[in-house]
A and B are shown apart, each in its own frame.
Chain A
Amino acid sequence: MMVLPQARLCRPEKVREALLLLAENPAAHRPVAGGTDLLPAMKLGLATAAQLVDVTGIPALNELNAAGDGGFFVGAAVRLADLAAHPGIALRYPALCEAALAVGSPQLRQMGSVGGNLCLTTRCRFYNQSPLWRESRGPCFKTGGDRCHAVPRSRRCLAVLSADTPPALSALGAQVHVTCLEGEQETETLVPVDDLYGEDGRVSRLPLGALVTGVSLPAPNPGYRTGYAKYRLRNSIDFPLAGVAAGLRVVDGAVTSARIILGGVAPHLIVAEEAAASLEGREPSAATFAEAASIAVALAHPVGNLQVPAQQRQHVLEVLTRRLLARLAAGDGA
């Protein structure tokens, strides 16, 4: 059960080579960087791959540098530890730095990559189990069945987007570089982070054979402060039970722009537009933030598919949102 199934490993040095290797058999050839998500899933029989295309040897995917427009480009193979340790990221994009540091444990951040975190498979306590365990209930939507074990009435998979960096990247307005082969032609599209995840936790919106090559961060808005807060039982290692990223700009005692993104409570990101709009033009105060947090969290409908009850996750998410906004208003996360 915990033995890694055999798979061929190839290490292309160019994006094009990687795409060609994936295109040979898009369903069975999978890109891999640190392997911290894919390899355990393969051991549990949750993922299969005849060929692993290791993208860490592609120089373009290891780039981490300032872009011409004042923004930043982060290659998909950049390790989360290196991302968090980069002074330019910590200074200009604190939410991303905080989110990268909140992923897993030090060992996982040393192996895990930005692209891997963006493409993390959704998680559920009925899914991330051994084959023997899953056999007791039979297959669910995510394992080829026709039901959801967490919510039997549900018509789709509700497994949770458990990555920490996507909410932060969304708060920062990041765009994901997705590269595909169209015939012989290599095409790159820029996808806003919010659009990367669908309603259904079963499938990814990324087309088969596509490769996430990096993330572009726009130049930071002066005075726009960002941060990320995460709920988990062990601050040393666990996946999020809920997470929130926010951005806040206060000018002359009034909020001029705000963004609140919830993660870890649905198969996709939740962009709390109304909650953010409720802050605009108002004076930052405990009451305004409590109100915004309550509007934001009303959009989240976590279900009992992680080990902590949904109601507790929802409640803590509201507390974290309120506190994060207050922290940003107080001047942290500049």
Chain B
Amino acid sequence: MAGNACLRAAEAVRERLVLAVAETVDCPPEAVLLKEGGFYVAGRSDAEVTFAEAAAKAEEQGGPVTCSGSYRPPELAANYRGGGVGPSPAYSFGAHVAEVEVDEDTGEVKVLRLVAAHDLGKAINPMAAEGQVQGAATMGLGEALLERHCVDRYGALEASDFLGYRVPTSLDVPAVEPLLVESMDPNGPFGAKEVGEGSLHPSLPAIANAVFDAVGVWVDELPLTGQALRRALQTQGDAKE
């Protein structure tokens, strides 16, 4: 959604610059073409204008080159639970695979590897998009194993600072391997969907599933603490026998 609004704002900026160039080189605006770093007019070698020159001219004409754009998402197709949270023309999808090591004596879980595939439409800036996926998966890892948000009966947060509210540091996170899956969405800007926090959600079930795969018990609470896992190993382990 924000991407489409940005795109429209950028188009408006381009429009103002093109008009400035057209006046500078004296040609109709339709004849002004864009290239890396500036503008030109087909067949006229004297009509090259750099981006900086065009911006200066546009500013001269109408003040700072600031434009805005807006976008209104389509109506919801149906009224469903959660549908009102974020109406959007397109939704991203993700699939994560986690490899974990579980210490059955202490209940400690260590994530050894996290592979995060994310369907983001079009990767406009692939390197930045990979960083987003890694960051989101790391947030997911923190939610899955460490971050606990409790308010006591006095209304005070149990973990009121970042020593108590444990966010994983770079040393607590394995190499997160991002996989960008492009699907060219028809409604997104240049076919893009999103690469914000969408990649957070699959980490949690992926880690819980990996723990189940490793030791055969389910923990249905987050964060997945050592004490919760030991309790599950005791109760569910007994039930299996």
Please list 6 pairs of residues, one from A and one from B, whose beta carbons are closer than 8 Å in the complex, sorted by A's number.
A105-B171, A128-B163, A238-B163, A307-B164, A315-B106, A319-B105
Q: What secondary structure prevails in chain B residues at the interface with A?
A: loop
Does A308 sit at the interface, judged by CB under 8 A?
yes
Does B236 sit at the interface, judged by CB under 8 A?
no
Known: A136-B156, A137-B156. 10 other contacts (CB 8 A): A105-B169, A125-B158, A125-B164, A128-B163, A130-B160, A236-B169, A236-B172, A237-B171, A307-B159, A312-B230
Question: Chain B 75-100, CB within 8 Å of chain A: the 1/0 string?
Answer: 00000000000000000000000000
A239 and B171 alpha carbons, distance in the complex (Å):
16
Using known A-B contacts A234-B169, A315-B106, determine if residue A308 contacts B155 with beta carbons closer than 8 Å.
no
Contact in complex: B160, A129 (CB < 8 Å): yes
Contact in complex: A233, B160 (CB < 8 Å): no
Contact in complex: A311, B146 (CB < 8 Å): no
Does B148 sit at the interface, judged by CB under 8 A?
yes
Residues of A that sit less than 8 Å from B by CB: 105, 125, 128-130, 133, 136-137, 231, 233-239, 307-309, 311-312, 315-316, 319-320
A330 and B158 alpha carbons, distance in the complex (Å):
41
**Within 8 Å CB of A125, what residues of B?**
158, 164
Contact in complex: B146, A233 (CB < 8 Å): yes
**Within 8 Å CB of B158, what residues of A?**
125, 307
Using known A-B contacts A235-B171, A307-B164, determine if residue A136 contacts B227 with beta carbons closer than 8 Å.
no
Contact in complex: A236, B154 (CB < 8 Å): no
A316 and B171 alpha carbons, distance in the complex (Å):
22
A65 and B227 alpha carbons, distance in the complex (Å):
43
Q: What secondary structure prevails in chain A residues at the interface with B?
A: loop
The A/B interface has a contact count, at CB < 8 Å, of 60
Question: Chain B 167-179, CB within 8 Å of chain A: the 1/0 string?
Answer: 0111110000000
Does B166 sit at the interface, judged by CB under 8 A?
yes
A311 and B154 alpha carbons, distance in the complex (Å):
24
Does B226 sit at the interface, judged by CB under 8 A?
yes
**Within 8 Å CB of A128, what residues of B?**
163
Max count, chain B CB within 10 A of own CB: residue among A128, A231, A312: A312
Contact in complex: A312, B107 (CB < 8 Å): yes
CB A316 to nearest CB in B, in angstroms, measures: 5
**Within 8 Å CB of A315, what residues of B?**
106, 230
Contact in complex: B155, A136 (CB < 8 Å): yes
**Within 8 Å CB of B166, what residues of A?**
233-234, 238
**Within 8 Å CB of B168, what residues of A?**
234, 236
CB B64 to nearest CB in A, in angstroms, measures: 37
A128 and B162 alpha carbons, distance in the complex (Å):
12
A265 and B115 alpha carbons, distance in the complex (Å):
38
8 Å CB contacts to A: which residues of B164-197? 164, 166, 168-172
A307 and B164 alpha carbons, distance in the complex (Å):
7
A143 and B105 alpha carbons, distance in the complex (Å):
37
**Within 8 Å CB of A316, what residues of B?**
106, 226
Using known A-B contacts A235-B172, A236-B171, A319-B106, determine if residue A308 contacts B146 with beta carbons closer than 8 Å.
no
Max count, chain B CB within 10 A of own CB: residue among A130, A309, A316: A316
Contact in complex: A311, B156 (CB < 8 Å): no
A229 and B60 alpha carbons, distance in the complex (Å):
69
**Within 8 Å CB of B230, what residues of A?**
312, 315
**Within 8 Å CB of B155, what residues of A?**
136
A136 and B158 alpha carbons, distance in the complex (Å):
12
A216 and B154 alpha carbons, distance in the complex (Å):
47
Name the residue on A nearest B148 (C-beta).
Answer: A307
CB B74 to nearest CB in A, in angstroms, measures: 44
CB A153 to nearest CB in B, in angstroms, measures: 18
Contact in complex: B227, A309 (CB < 8 Å): yes
CB B62 to nearest CB in A, in angstroms, measures: 45
CB A8 to nearest CB in B, in angstroms, measures: 28
CB A236 to nearest CB in B, in angstroms, measures: 4
A315 and B157 alpha carbons, distance in the complex (Å):
26
Name the residue on A nearest B154 (C-beta).
Answer: A136
A107 and B13 alpha carbons, distance in the complex (Å):
46
